[in-house]
């Protein structure tokens, strides 16, 4: 509700005649996305007053629309929003995906750390870390994080597979078989 209130307040401050005008713009964006016209949806956002375009909620919408346009646009929009909100754990969740898509594994690990810290530690994040280290051919680190994930949540299937992958890559056939 805070985000919605900030959006409406910014719109009224910038001369949008009523919250209904903002609602119409948001409905138009939603429809254009449903019609698979992301460039046109982005143009609607670009037509809003600058104060509104810079709101966190609308910047996040830009990230999602950017992904629909291209990986490059997705990365640009993600970079822009992270510059404004670098340690936001809700953005870290999206940043993990975007950085991994680009193959920027240090940025992926940083985003995982941000999210993991915000939730107070999570075995699933260790399993994701393991996958990232595996992609970097750092099989020892992949194994270490997979082991931590399995220890923290023994029934987590992703952690079990990550551990098997790391053990196999390290040539530890005994561990794979047990």
CB contact at 8 A, 162 and 130: yes
The pLDDT tens digits for 3-12 are: 555 555 655 5
Is residue 155 within a helix (H) or strand (E), and if so which, with residue range? none
Alpha helices (runs of H) in the chain, residue ranges in sequence order: 2-13, 19-34, 38-46, 50-53, 56-69, 71-84, 89-102, 105-119, 123-135, 139-152, 157-169, 173-177
Positive or negative, the Cα torsion across 89, 94, 96, 98? Answer: negative
DSSP for residue 171: T
Percent of the chain with pLDDT over 90: 69
Does residue 14 register a pLDDT over 90? no
- pLDDT-based confidence at 1, cuts 50/70/90? very low
Positive or negative, the Cα torsion across 88, 62, 31, 12? Answer: positive
d(CA 178, CA 167): 11
d(CA 167, CA 140): 9
The pLDDT tens digits for 148-164 are: 999 999 999 999 999 99
The pLDDT tens digits for 86-136 are: 878 889 889 999 999 999 999 999 999 999 999 999 999 999 999 999 999
The pLDDT tens digits for 41-85 are: 999 999 888 878 888 888 999 999 999 999 999 999 999 999 998
Say whether 15 sits in a helix, a strand or coil: coil
């Amino acid at each position: 509700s805070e985000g919605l209130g900030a959006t409406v307040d910014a719109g009224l401050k910038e001369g949008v005649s009523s919250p209904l005008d903002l609602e119409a713009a948001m409905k138009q964006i939603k429809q254009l996305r449903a019609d698979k016209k992301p460039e046109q949806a982005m143009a609607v956002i670009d037509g809003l007053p600058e104060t509104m375009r810079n709101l966190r909620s609308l910047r996040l919408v830009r990230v999602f629309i950017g992904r629909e346009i291209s990986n490059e646009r997705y990365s640009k929009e993600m970079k822009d929003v992270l510059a404004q909100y670098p340690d936001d754990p809700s953005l870290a969740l999206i940043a993990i995906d975007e950085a991994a898509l680009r193959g920027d594994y240090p940025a992926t690990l940083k985003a995982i750390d941000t999210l993991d810290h915000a939730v107070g530690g999570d075995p699933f994040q260790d399993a994701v870390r393991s996958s990232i280290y595996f992609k970097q051919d750092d099989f020892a680190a992949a194994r270490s994080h997979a082991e931590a994930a399995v220890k923290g949540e023994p029934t987590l299937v992703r952690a079990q597979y990550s551990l098997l992958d790391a053990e196999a890559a390290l040539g530890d056939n005994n561990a794979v078989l047990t």
